């Protein structure tokens, strides 16, 4: 009789473990899906740059053959290093050319 009682207890513990494993497996699956969605949203958000002053999405605007990122609300402009060098080559005698290429000797 005592042996039957132990087998029933073992079955109950096995059932509890199986339910617990199933619960944590489902929870892990949901958390992974949530992380994948967040990563996808972050990837989309990083594609569009934001203005450091007011947080508005920047738009690419062409100014004299150089594409700059411009804020539509505050009018601020941001250049990449290559863009700055392109402008500086055209303006070698200006302050911008001296800033990028150094003073003339």
Q: d(Cα 7, Cα 55) in Å, to the nearest integer? A: 65
Enumerate residues 6+ apart whose C-beta is below 8 A from 91: 97
Return the sign of the alpha-carbon dihedral for residues 94, 100, 101, 104: positive
Same domain, 41 and 71: no
Containing H/E element for 74?
Answer: none
pLDDT attached to residue 67: 84
Give the range of the structural domain holding residue 32, as residue numbers without chain letter. Answer: 1-47
Instruction: Using CB atoms within 10 Å of the CB of residue 71, give its burial: 0 to 12 exposed, 13 to 18 middle, 19+ buried.
Output: buried
78 domain-assigned: yes
pLDDT attached to residue 15: 92
Are 83 and 99 in contact by the 8 Å Cβ rule? The answer is no
In tens digits, the chain (105 residues) has pLDDT values of 556 667 888 888 999 999 999 999 999 999 999 998 888 877 665 557 888 888 888 888 887 788 888 898 998 888 877 887 787 777 777 877 777 777 665
Q: Is the pTM of this model over 0.85?
A: no
When divided into structural domains, the chain yields a total of 2
Same domain, 5 and 42: yes
Q: d(Cα 88, Cα 79) in Å, to the nearest integer? A: 12
């Amino acid at each position: 009789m005592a042996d039957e009682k132990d087998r029933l207890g073992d079955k109950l513990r096995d059932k509890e473990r199986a339910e617990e494993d199933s619960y944590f497996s489902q929870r892990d699956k949901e958390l992974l899906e949530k992380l994948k969605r967040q990563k996808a949203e972050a990837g989309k958000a990083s594609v569009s740059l934001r203005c450091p002053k007011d947080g508005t999405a920047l738009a690419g605007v062409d100014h004299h053959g150089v594409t700059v990122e411009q804020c539509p609300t505050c009018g601020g402009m941001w250049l990449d290093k290559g863009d700055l060098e392109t402008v500086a080559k055209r303006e070698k005698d200006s302050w911008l050319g001296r800033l990028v290429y150094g003073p003339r000797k």
